[in-house]
Amino acid sequence: MPSAREHAATVSWQAHLPHGADPQALDLLAAESLPRAWVKHFVEAPERPAFCDTERRSLSYRELDRRSRTVAARFAAAGLETGDRVLLSAVASIDLVVAYVAAQRLGLVIVPVNPAYTRREVDYIIDDLHPSGAIVDDVERADWMRRTGVVCKPGVDLADGSEPSLDRATRDDLALIAYTSGTTGQPKGAMLSSGNLLASAEAVRVAWRWTADDRLVLALPLYHLHGLGVGLHGTLTAGASAVLLPRFDVDQVLDAAAAFDATLFFGVPTMYARLAASERIGELARLRLCVSGSAPMSADLHRALAERAGQQIIERYGMTETVMNISNPYEGDRRPGSVRLPLPGVELQLADGEILIRGPNVFRGYWQRPEATGEAFTEDGWFRSGDLGTFDSDGYLRIVGRSKDLIITGGYNVYPREIEDVLRQHPGVRDVAVADLASAEWGETVGAWVVISEDNLDESELLSFAADRLAAFKCPRVIVFVDELPRNALGKVLKQQLPTPA
């Protein structure tokens, strides 16, 4: 139990509200669940555009309602029922959005799976979760997932059926299980309720002044909570619209912003670094708001975007287990490398430097991991983020480190233990330590320090071994062969003493 707790009296989510707004009138869970929040726009603004893509295909709220009803009926006719777990592994598309909305309306529990995952990683999730189906856009990955049950493409190529009961989810019903790696080396499924997801979507809607008039350029993947829990959920909850891009590309983002008269862009620092390096960076000035998250942004990059594009980037801080927690203010000083205010509904405090979080956005626990769930919370119900922070004299929070062993590369979380466990499976590896390496483009990259037991083991063989078992973003970018790893008297590897790569 943390011994010393620091409350920042000046840090209150109420400062996110527009001037004159009554904080007592804000109810993040008034709609009760995500589907019920979305249905409001189906009814009140059916002709409003919801989504479009770069091929000029578009979807109104009326069409999203109609098509999601049809797809939900297909899911039900195939035998899927409320509470069934379904994997989702595909790039962003209008068909995928329809399938996802249909699944939420039926009460299915979606499990996002990165399309970059290898079969080993996918098999682990299937064995841990025992899902009832999968939505997947790749033939090979569809074969991997066949044993789950009902497998379909994002267009849901299943037989039609009669419409089932829809939009019955409550705030307490499980809506999403997002897998996050852990210090044990085995990924854990974070269970998020419809209320958790709704609370976060409503919080950013209020804090960022997100309205039905906004249009988001959405280049973030929908198998990641940044794209799904912020971009997609936020768009639908606000009754706004979004331009879907299948992947991030500088020119496509700027072309879409111009062609569709966009007002918003959300990204990670790696994306903003590539935008800043483009001769077209000035075009970003047309947007009302740019938000960055998933990793800290450097002061140099923050300054470059301000000078070259006139954009004062809002940085925000979130986690798989809590979706969105803290954001720099819409009105006020947006300081690089800091986040200012807990989002509406979120409580925050420091305990011996660790950031503790409480609120309607905080998950219920890890799938079938009672011990890990217990360790994640204090006795009085605060979630231990594993991140270390400090408040400055103005109440700005700066994240200064991590109590958990974690690498953030390009916005993705990588836990060294998982990589170490994979590399140790190679018969030529006697010992290994994985740690972060600084990168101007990615923020951090993965490095591996290896003690070998076979003289003929080289870097290319080990990298190939890792690539067969790990998603590309988890694979080491650099391998350093060493005679031994630095350890303390208790045998713990001293990662700060690992030699710098040549």
Q: Residue 353: what pLDDT? A: 83
Q: Please determine, for residue 182, whether its predicted confidence score (pLDDT) is greater than 80.
A: no
> How far, in Å, CA of 374 to CA of 103, rounded?
30
* pLDDT band at 5; cut points 50, 70, 90: low
Percent residues over pLDDT 70 in the chain: 95
Residue 363 confidence (pLDDT):
98
Yes or no: say if 152 and 158 are a contact pair by the CB < 8 Å rule.
yes
> For residue 163, what are its two tokens?
């419409």
Residue 181 — very low, low, confident or very high, per pLDDT cuts 50/70/90?
Answer: low
For residue 443, pLDDT over 90 is answered with: no
- In the chain the domains, ranked by start, together with CATH numbers, are 407-497 (3.30.300.30)
- pLDDT at 267 exceeding the cut of 60: yes
- Identify the pLDDT of residue 470: 93
Please say if the pLDDT value at position 8 is more than 50: no
Contacts with 127 (C-beta within 8 Å, 6 or more apart), sequence order: none
β-pairing verdict for 412-414 and 397-402: unpaired
pLDDT of 40:
95
**Placement of tokens 């033939």 in the chain:** 139
Q: What confidence category does residue 11 fall into, taking pLDDT thresholds of 50, 70 and 90? A: low
Q: Which residues contact 6 (CB under 8 A, 6 or more apart)?
A: 349, 350, 351, 391
Give the pLDDT confidence score for residue 53 in this predicted structure.
94
What percent of the chain stands above pLDDT 90? 70
Express each pLDDT in 96-147 by its tens digit.
999 999 999 999 999 999 998 999 999 999 999 999 999 999 999 999 999 9
Confidence band, pLDDT 50/70/90 cuts, at residue 420 = confident
Average pLDDT over residues 15-35: 89
Exposure on the CB side of residue 486, measured as CA atoms within 13 A: 7
Q: What is the pLDDT of residue 491?
A: 59
Decide: 111 and 131 in contact? Cβ < 8 Å: yes
Q: What pLDDT is attached to residue 15?
A: 77
Backbone angles phi, psi at 487, to 5 degrees: -135, 155
Q: What is the pTM of this model?
A: 0.85
Mean pLDDT (the chain, rounded): 91
Q: CA-to-CA distance for 93 and 161, rounded, in angstroms?
A: 24
The reported pLDDT for the residue numbered 174 is 98
Q: What whole-number distance in Å separates Cα of residue 487 and Cα of residue 20?
A: 58
Positive or negative, the CA dihedral 180, 51, 198, 193 is negative
Contact 287, 303 (CB under 8 A): no
Q: What gap in Å lies between CA 406 and CA 415, rounded to an integer?
A: 5
Decide which of 344 and 25 is more confident. 344
Which amino acid, 101?
A: V
Mean pLDDT across 482-494: 76
Per-residue pLDDT tens digits for 39-98: 999 999 999 999 999 888 999 999 999 999 999 999 999 999 999 999 999 999 999 999
CA atoms within 13 A on the CB side of 272: 31
Question: Are the beta carbons of 203 and 345 closer than 8 angstroms?
Answer: yes
CA angle 193, 236, 125 (to 5 degrees): 40
pLDDT of residue 397: 83
Residues facing 85 on adjacent strands:
109
What does the pLDDT read at residue 3?
Answer: 42
Q: Which residue has the higher pLDDT, 16 or 94?
A: 94
Maximal C-alpha separation, the chain: 71
Q: How many CA atoms lie within 13 A of 373 on its CB side?
A: 13
Q: Which segment of 31-45, 270-284, 391-405 scores lowest on mean pLDDT?
A: 391-405
Taking the C-alpha atoms of residue 434 and residue 415, their distance in angstroms, rounded to an integer, is 9
Q: What is the pLDDT of residue 2?
A: 39
Query: Picking from 111-120, 312-321, 378-387, 448-457, which range would have the lowest pLDDT averaged per residue?
Result: 448-457
Tokens of 82: 């409320």
Tokens encoding 407: 């690498």
> Which tokens hold the place of 176?
């999403």
Q: Is residue 4 over pLDDT 70? A: no
Q: Which residues contact 182 (CB under 8 A, 6 or more apart)?
A: 188, 372, 415, 417
**Cα–Cα dist 292/220, whole Å:** 11
Question: Which residue, among 267, 354, 355, 376, has the nearest Cα to 311 in the 3D structure?
Answer: 267
Determine the pLDDT at residue 455. Answer: 76
Nearest 5°: phi and psi at 157? -80, 65
State the Cα angle at 372 between 465 and 123, rounded to 5°: 35
For residue range 376-387, list pLDDT tens digits in order: 999 999 999 988
* pLDDT of the residue at 403: 65
- Cα–Cα distance between 322 and 314 in angstroms, integer? 19
Q: What's the rounded Cα separation, in Å, for the pair 459 and 450?
A: 10
